[in-house]
Structure 1
Amino acid sequence: MFLLTKIIYQMETFKYSLDKSSKKNLCPNCNKNTFVYYVNTETGNYLTTDFGRCDREQNCNYHKAPPKGKRGFLIPFLTLQDISNKAFKLVDVNGIISIIPKSQILEQQKGRCYISEWYLKTSTINYLNNESKYFNTDEVCTFNEVKTIKEPQQLKSSFHRLKLQDKIIKEYKDNQKFDNLTTFLLDNFTFDEVDKAVSNYYLTGSNYCWQQSTIFWQIDDKGQIRGAKIMLYDKVTGKRIKEPYNHINWLHKAIKEPDFNLCQCLFGLHLINEDCQKSIAIVESEKTAIIMSIFLPEFIWVSTGSKSNFKFEVLEPLKKRKCFAFPDKGEFNNWSNKAKELKTKGFKIEVSNIIEQTNFNNGFDLADYYFKTTK
């Protein structure tokens, strides 16, 4: 435990770092041209000439370091519940449940909070592309000289092995029982329609977390398995089971792979290479993508998995394709504004307001609309 804590501490990113170039300056102590300035890693500006380290460690040993600040990343959440004097229970927008020490929540806002980088490195919360800032840092003066600062290297994405997927699919078939979501689909569509959709999206039943739950494999456009989300549905209504808690988990957590670095992609992304002529339709829910692939097979249907994943990092593989986005009720403005931003980067995304014009409650989606109007 001590070794792990030491490693994490050494990895922590601070607001200021020593200049990594070969440039040397006049040392304020020994007056030799052996002094390395500190720079502000956010702005790239040098700090004033008294902050730095002399390379003459034996003869001079001058080193004045600026204050170290805690870096926090902005994490949107569904709920943040006070459960004790020392901890919160947080459910993030992907449904991941975490128990977080209160000391590691650096700032709290409505529907989101800043969590310390130190804690996030030990958790399964995806944060590397999120907004960040520093806390508890005494500001120091800087030069107005801008340098190019090398960004900290991000952790490489982890991938599930194909052998693991084959093993789970075989176990599912040998079980000879349908998961609850597939049961719901079979009650509403023909066997051939469901069989094709299940095969296209590698929809898999599982008992890893809950009996008759469903695994949604996130397979990227190169055929690599980025992750696998496990969710439990009601087999009659087809709705996700959210009581007494939200039944969502990830396969790497279920099989206890603590070093797995989850870097999500669109659900259904592997299908975009099968037909380059088809337009791509984007929805939020994995279930909705599967259902709409049956209703409207003239599109390739993909899902973001959460409303916050409608962003450049996740949508980048679709940049050259013609896309139509169908946000859930209440999200049209957010997705529309994001699409306008993405168009300036070369994307071809049109956002539909078909759900926004209905009298459905917030959260209703395109699959709800089609079941209401066609069934």
Structure 2
Amino acid sequence: MMKTESIYKYILEPSGNGRKYHPCPHCGAYKFTWYIDVDTGLPLADYVGRCERINSCGYHYPPREYFRNLKINNKKNMNENELKGTTSVVEEERVNRRYPKSVDYAKNALSYFLVTVFGKQKVMDAFQKYDVRTSTLFRKDNKYGTVFIMRTKDCLIRQVKEMAYDPNTGKRVKEGQSVFKYDYKTNSYQIDNDGFRILYAGKSLMKDYNFENKLCFFGEHLLAGEVNKPIAIVESEKTSVICDICMPDYIWLATGGKNGCKWTTEEVYQVLKDANQPIILFPDLNATEDWSEKAEILLAAGLDVSLYDLEEQEGITKEDKVKGLDIGDYLIRYWKENYPEDGEIIEEVKCKKANIPQLSNMLSSLSPQKEPTTIEELGKTIDHKEVDSLLPNKSSASVSGIDLSVISNIE
């Protein structure tokens, strides 16, 4: 049995009932009939329909073509989003523009503190190795924040993390503690007591808030090429830098947080498998149980993993556990006690005073008197006749239509 138009889901808008033609998307003539939904009476789209100028135009866009193209476009968009998600990269040029490599490390709160413990050279070497930079977003006691750059093994930048540190303690400035934060609206620093202290800047650097970051280990770029050292993993980026200074026989990576870079997913831990080296996990105090479970995942994936349990070590106090200290805190304490001579203060780079001898001589030759404000002070002789010649002549009846007889004598 042949189907009639009335039993289709979408039909050409019937004539009658005050139906009006619409402009044709092809020829522009008001001879275009929409395809409408039978249930709702609404058109599919303003370009889905038929031009009644069949011979001169012939435009016809049926519903089946509309849905076929819609399906194709949806699939294309999904593929583009998947591709975007797997290749997310923060451009090197944009990072360098905001956080220059050439910087006064005495102005960086974290490096300023670490130098007081380990000395300038060790800290500078570690900062350069891990490409740690300075953030002017935060300021504490005239020192600025720290930038940690997450680079893949191929040196691609996956994320940029700005953090506020206290230059006196080397501790992260947390919520509830005061810090100056730069306000881009007023172009000035404002005191902030309870705002955020960590900024993930990848999306803002790329000016794309749909940008999906695929995170990696902090320090992962150190796994490029042949790896000939065991790999050690900690939570904090700061701790990985400290450990690299104190225990350089390991390659130190950081997860960037408790769950951090999702380091127990295959996409992230694959670089550990490729390195083919023993892996030691160094969890913070009170995180041992959680990291033990994560170690099981890595073991099941075939990695050679062991765990260093801080809580089992001698000298760990209840107060330490409450604070949730990590291996970096103990290394700082150890270094202060055993190598106090290493600590130093970085000399800050100050703005030089310009010296222009010729200009200095000119200025020094000036008398300390005040600047002259009258002719007499300038030392010039005044000729009253010359002054009078500049004034209008009273005998003239008018000048340019102005009656000068009303002007009184000027002596």
| Fold equivalence (TM over 0.5) | yes
> Do structure 1's residue 194 and structure 2's residue 126 form an aligned pair?
no
Residues 146-161 of structure 1: pairs in structure 2 closer than 5 A: 154=82, 155-161=85-91
Secondary structure at 1:207 match in 2: strand
> Paired residue for 2:291, among 335, 338, 349?
335
| Superposition deviation, residue 209 in structure 1 | 4.8
Distance 1:264 1:164 in 2: 18
Tell me what 2:240 maps to: 289
Q: What is the one-letter code of the residue matched to 2:264? A: K
> Paired residue for 2:327, among 363, 366, 369?
366
| Superposition deviation, residue 351 in structure 1 | 1.0
Residues 36-115 of structure 1: pairs in structure 2 closer than 5 A: 61=9
Q: Are the structure 2 counterparts of residues 58 and 192 from structure 1 closer, same or farther at C-alpha, using a change threshold of 3 Å?
A: farther
Retained in 1: the 8 A contact 2:233–2:282?
A: yes
Tell me what 2:264 maps to: 311
Tell me which structure has the larger Cα radius of gyration. Answer: 2
| Superposition deviation, residue 286 in structure 1 | 0.2
Q: Are the structure 2 counterparts of residues 190 and 274 from structure 1 closer, same or farther at C-alpha, using a change threshold of 3 Å?
A: farther
Distance 2:246 2:106 in 1: 25
Residues 173-252 of structure 1: pairs in structure 2 closer than 5 A: 173=102, 177-210=106-139, 212-242=144-174, 243=177, 244-245=193-194, 246-252=196-202
Equivalent residue pairs, number:
233
| Superposition deviation, residue 348 in structure 1 | 1.4
Distance 1:213 1:181 in 2: 7
| Superposition deviation, residue 336 in structure 1 | 0.9
Retained in 2: the 8 A contact 1:328–1:355?
A: no
Runs of 4+ in 1 over 6 A off after TM superposition: none
Distance 2:105 2:293 in 1: 46
| Superposition deviation, residue 258 in structure 1 | 1.7
Residues 103-182 of structure 1: pairs in structure 2 closer than 5 A: 154=82, 155-170=85-100, 173=102, 177-182=106-111
Distance 1:176 1:355 in 2: 34
Q: What is the one-letter code of the residue matched to 1:311? A: T
Note the alpha carbon deviations across 1:170-192, whole angstroms, 9 max, x for none: 3x635675310010111111222
Question: Normalising to structure 2: TM-score of the pair?
Answer: 0.52
Distance 1:197 1:267 in 2: 13
Which structure is higher in strand share? 1
| Superposition deviation, residue 250 in structure 1 | 1.5
Q: Which runs of 5+ in 2 are unaligned?
A: 11-77, 178-192, 337-411
Note the alpha carbon deviations across 1:330-365, whole angstroms, 9 max, x for none: 111111122112211111111111345422224210
Note the alpha carbon deviations across 1:299-330, whole angstroms, 9 max, x for none: 00000001113422432311233110000001
Q: What is the one-letter code of the residue matched to 1:163? A: E
| Superposition deviation, residue 261 in structure 1 | 1.5
Retained in 1: the 8 A contact 2:106–2:112?
A: no
Tell me what 1:326 maps to: 282
Q: Are the structure 2 counterparts of residues 257 and 208 from structure 1 closer, same or farther at C-alpha, using a change threshold of 3 Å?
A: farther
| Superposition deviation, residue 166 in structure 1 | 2.8
Q: Are the structure 2 counterparts of residues 58 and 303 from structure 1 closer, same or farther at C-alpha, using a change threshold of 3 Å?
A: farther
Distance 2:197 2:242 in 1: 20
Q: Are the structure 2 counterparts of residues 166 and 58 from structure 1 closer, same or farther at C-alpha, using a change threshold of 3 Å?
A: farther
Distance 2:226 2:116 in 1: 29
Tell me what 1:278 maps to: 229
> Paired residue for 2:210, among 246, 253, 259?
259
Secondary structure at 2:252 match in 1: strand
Note the alpha carbon deviations across 1:104-150, whole angstroms, 9 max, x for none: xxxxxxxxxxxxxxxxxxxxxxxxxxxxxxxxxxxxxxxxxxxxxxx
Retained in 2: the 8 A contact 1:355–1:369?
A: no
Distance 1:199 1:168 in 2: 17
Tell me what 1:33 maps to: none
Q: Which runs of 5+ in 1 are unaligned?
A: 1-29, 31-56, 63-150
Which structure is higher in helix share? 2
Tell me what 1:109 maps to: none
| Superposition deviation, residue 156 in structure 1 | 3.3
Retained in 2: the 8 A contact 1:202–1:216?
A: yes
Note the alpha carbon deviations across 1:40-62, whole angstroms, 9 max, x for none: xxxxxxxxxxxxxxxxx995659
Tell me what 2:35 maps to: none
Distance 2:87 2:162 in 1: 19
Note the alpha carbon deviations across 1:220-255, whole angstroms, 9 max, x for none: 111100010000100110000012334100123554
Question: Normalising to structure 1: TM-score of the pair?
Answer: 0.56
Q: What is the one-letter code of the residue matched to 1:203? A: V
Give the superposed CA RMSD: 2.9
> Do structure 1's residue 269 and structure 2's residue 201 form an aligned pair?
no
Q: Are the structure 2 counterparts of residues 59 and 350 from structure 1 closer, same or farther at C-alpha, using a change threshold of 3 Å?
A: farther
